[in-house]
Amino acid sequence: MFANLVQAPSKLMAQNAFALKRVFQETTAGSCPRDYNFHMHTIYSDGQLQPEALVEQAIAIGLKGFAITDHHTTNGYLIAQKYLDDRQNSSDRTDSIPHLWTGFEVTAELLDIEVHILGFAFNPEHSALQPYLKREAPIGSEAYAGEVIAAIHQAGGLAILAHPARYKRSHIELVPEAVRLGIDGVETYYAYNNPNPWKPSPSQTQDVQELSETYQLLNSCGTDTHGLSLLQRL
């Protein structure tokens, strides 16, 4: 029982959509990758980092907040949260511990093509999300973007369209349709050509920023890390 009491505050913080919404409202091109990072993968989907190693890097970089967005699972997040809790409880100093939010990435269908939707600050135990936590892409009606967005909202979370300028259809078409279906925001700041050092791609960023402003969306950023460094995609 004591362990559950210790973990409860951090779990509630991880599901604090109001706090995350405020972060997204203030996110700029300079927010990633050293202040915030909301797109990262572990070995529990298609990444190379152990969750514990990811947490250690997040602390070493000095991140203020982050989310693990493995595909169709929160297993990496759960391990990272426990490791972060244990580290914080065993440390005399807690001012350098970043805020970890729940997160995942879901493959969905939007305008007849495959897109990815990021979910954040949700309750991972909510029944609405269970079809999307089977470590494989949803099928049938559950794969429709509107269904994915609705499920994230039912679980108390925020839904973000990942890397909007990376799909087979233009972001100029996709973003308005995602808005119609209830999307909360877009991954405005993304490095499409994997530069080193990481920085948002100027042309795509400008386009997505304009769409975000037009539709009053939240702005997210992330490195989409699949390799061993949180400062790069690969």
Is residue 232 one of the residues assigned to a domain? no
H or E element: which one contains 193?
A: none
> How many domains in the chain?
1
The confidence score (pLDDT) of residue 11 equals: 86
Is residue 22 situated within a structural domain? yes
Q: pLDDT of 38-56, one tens digit each?
A: 999 999 999 999 999 999 9
Q: Which two tokens stand for residue 71?
A: 């595909």
**pLDDT tens string 198-233:** 999 999 999 999 999 999 999 999 999 999 999 999
Record the pTM. Answer: 0.94
Mean pLDDT across the chain, nearest whole number? 94
**Nearest in space to 130 (alpha carbons), one of 155, 153, 161:** 155
- For residue 161, give the nearest of 42, 24, 51, 44 by alpha carbon: 24
Residue 87 lies in a domain: yes
Task: Supply the pLDDT for residue 104.
Answer: 98
Domain region containing 133:
2-221
Q: Per-residue pLDDT for 3 more than 50?
A: no
Of the candidates 143, 201, 215, 202, which has an alpha carbon nearest to the alpha carbon of residue 172? 215
Establish if 234 belongs to a structural domain: no
Poorest-pLDDT segment among 2-11, 13-22, 67-76: 2-11
pLDDT digits 0-9 by tens, 177-186: 999 999 999 9
Which CATH number covers residue 176? 3.20.20.140
Does residue 227 sit within a domain?
no
Question: Identity (one letter) of the amino acid at 18?
Answer: F
Would you say residue 59 lies in a domain?
yes
* pLDDT above 70 for 2: no
Asked if residue 54 is part of any domain, the answer here is yes
Give pLDDT tens digits for 62-103. 999 999 999 999 999 999 999 999 988 886 655 589 999 999
| 21 in a structural domain | yes
